[in-house]
Amino acid sequence: MESARTLRPADGRYPAALARVAERPAELRLRGNLGERRRVAVVGSRATDEYGADLAREIAAGLARAGVSVVSGGALGVDAVAHEAALDAGGHTVAVLGTGVDVTYPASHRELYGRILASGGALLSPFPDGTPGFRSNFPARNRIVSGLSEAVVVVRAGARSGALITASWARAQGVPVLAVPGDVRDPLSAGTTGLLKAGARAVASAGDVLEIIGIEAHPQPQRTLPNLAGDETALLGALARRPRHADEVARTAGVAPGAALAGLLALEVLGLCEQRPGHYFLRRN
């Protein structure tokens, strides 16, 4: 196990960004490397859905490809997706833990934390080594997530999500709060809808985030679509960024259900859509 280091404000290694954090911790424990990159937090619900996971993945990967370090809280759901997407994109990520840096919480994240360290990323905590995952630790952890970051992106959040605590800390610290809009009738959009009503800026992509923090996004090469049959073109146009049942796609596209399923499977083979259990499909970029 890589040994942890103690960071103190007087030793020059303590993150300068945390000067804006009220009652900042006198010590931080660090495993890995924080680096000198610009940082953006990507946070959200532990109980996210495919829509939230897909958007968190796309935003975090886009930030990582632009050289921005993705900060999150190492939790289940959106946090884990954001860390993994940054790693998959060959980027840097920082997990700010509500435990000691020598504690794997949740236990299922042992491989994820190992990947973060192996990639040159960091595990950071305001708590001493050996500290277990007490519920009261996480709001204090969240102020470090926001304090390290130039902006906080909330992807999915219910009305009582811990991500809203991170957003509240961000506002107190003068850090821009960005939120991904969702269906106003969806409980997982209640928190983000509230943030938008309170003045958070709406974002739908990494490019939106990069523009807000003043980084020019490099355009991705345009993908050349293969020649599609008429039904396949209609089906592709009827797909959305969140899963839709094959029957719903068929009705929207005006294609018979049997032909629609065959066409959707053909689009999946071409890499233009993804299938989820129960014959649900979503469009890929």
**Predicted confidence (pLDDT) per residue in 190-230, tens digit:** 999 999 999 999 999 999 999 999 998 765 555 566 778 78
| 253 vs 148, more confident | 148
H-type alpha helices, the chain: 50-65, 78-88, 110-118, 137-148, 163-173, 190-197, 206-213, 230-238, 246-253, 257-269
Structure tokens at 94: 């920082």
Low-confidence winner among 129-138, 160-169, 202-211, 241-250 (lowest mean pLDDT): 241-250
Q: Tell the CATH topology of 5-213.
A: Rossmann fold (3.40.50)
Strand partners, 202: 179
Sheet holding 5-7, edge to edge: 5-7, 28-32, 122-125, 93-96, 69-72, 39-43, 152-154, 177-179, 201-202
Q: Binning pLDDT at 50, 70 and 90, where does residue 2 land?
A: low
Please classify residue 36 by burial: count the beta carbons closer than 10 Å to its beta carbon, then call 0-12 exposed, 13-18 middle and 19+ buried.
Answer: exposed
pLDDT in tens, 22-38: 888 999 999 999 988 99
| Residue extents of the structural domains in the chain | 5-213, 230-283
Which architecture does CATH list for 230-283?
Answer: Orthogonal Bundle (1.10)
Low-confidence winner among 153-157, 215-219, 261-265 (lowest mean pLDDT): 215-219
The residue type of 165 is I
**Is the Cβ–Cβ distance between 42 and 70 less than 8 Å?**
yes
The DSSP annotation for 149-168 comes to -S-EEE----TT-THHHHHH
Give per-residue burial for 196-231: e unless 16+ CB within 10 Å, then b. beeebeebeebbbbbebbebebeeeeeeeeeebeeb
Residue-level pLDDT at 277: 85
Structure tokens at 215: 């980084």
Q: Give percent of the chain above pLDDT 90.
A: 70
Helix (H, G, I), strand (E, B) or coil at 96: strand
pLDDT in tens, 87-96: 999 999 999 9
Strand partners, 250: none
Q: Supply the mean pLDDT for the chain.
A: 91
Nearest to 157 by CA among 34, 48, 3, 276: 48
